[in-house]
Chains A and B, each alone.
Chain A
């Protein structure tokens, strides 16, 4: 029950509520726990509430970190003649 996923805010509804898109399913959630969430932003949704906004720049940075490590691996493979 701790599972929660990032979802994109599609529409602000009544004050403090929003419609998010959870993998194609539109659902109304409460924004009572986050400040100034705007349409187009991603939030982490848990039991019907946005727990935190998702920082898109940080998300990209983390993804880059994974990718760079991939390159590092290739480098290592080249250096060791594919025996990594």
Chain B
């Protein structure tokens, strides 16, 4: 496929790998965090870690929306679907996230709740139009990539006077999570970030500048194809070698410094900052998520149905929290690959193919044992 296949050329990947091996100083370690689940997926799927010298280590970050959603948020959606008889619409990955009482949205559905997987917010609007006698709630999760489509849907619903449509808003912000990672107590030793691909198409490269300027961490924004990731790693190694910390952009074909201003304006019109939001693994992070502005309160399911968020601790055996903070690797979880598998996930990191545990289970598991 045009503009996909060319960025997956294996020989070129080996060339970039040779450059990385040639330029990385043998005497030092390079600990690079790929923030985004899309990069985690690419690194595992294409075995990129195998192409890197041992002193260049990739650390998975918290950039998978399904992984960072705390149990209490899924519980809220399940309560709505089971107790208030709404049609609960959500993106596919979310339905398998383990919730309280051995439930998930999928199990709630099997038990009779009306849970529907959708591909686009347009599908949720259609369901609301087609079922005027029912309440339709969209479980809106995701980073800055999925927020603009939710904003478009809210604006459309308002314009149409669609009264039976609302959202449970769990949209979260990438830069706030990166701040939280760097502020984690006992910290994660990091030498730089591979910056998000598609999030950056929306917000641009500018919001990462504080990480370079104030925290002195290099950031290289990279596309999701294997060559993009390899090239970004090389660019990071060079910055570290030079003692520089700048925001560089490998993904110039889709990312500018300013980002997609139209999308940003839409989001600003519909949403405002939450004071704080609880993340799985990072705890409560100030100004790290969005809620609907007061003039769109009629579309806020939390207010409409009075379903409050109740915090719930993670499963005791699950190490997701430490993995999302970059402090542990999937294989360090005692139940990885035995009790916890993609078919039967115990923690959220095992659910989506962008989660660190699922990515490692599907593509990298046998490498470690060798």
Contacts and interface: CB of A to CB of B under 8 A. Distances in A.
A79 interface: no
Contacts of A54: 3, 253-254
B18 A1 contact: no
A3 B123 CA distance: 19
Contact of B252 (A33, A62, A67, A72): A62
Contacts of B231: 62, 65-66
B224 interface: yes
Given A47-B120, A47-B146, A59 B12 contact: no
Nearest to A48: B120
Interface residues of A, number: 40
B11 interface: yes
Contact of A84 (B12, B18, B145, B227): B18
Number of chain B interface residues as a range: 35 or more
Contacts of B253: 54-56, 58-59, 62
Q: Is the interface of B mostly helix, strand, loop or mixed?
A: helix
Contacts of A15: none
A12 interface: no
Nearest to A76: B22
A2 B12 contact: no
B73 interface: no
A23 interface: yes
A44 B198 contact: yes
Given A2-B37, A6-B4, A54-B3, A46 B146 contact: yes
A2 B38 contact: yes
Interface in B82-115: 91-94
6 contacts: A1-B94, A46-B149, A47-B91, A54-B254, A66-B15, A69-B16
Interface of B: 1-4, 6-7, 9, 11-12, 15-16, 18-19, 22, 36-38, 41, 63-66, 91-94, 119-123, 142-143, 145-146, 148-149, 152, 198-199, 201-202, 224, 227-228, 231, 250, 252-255, 260, 262-263, 266, 352, 354
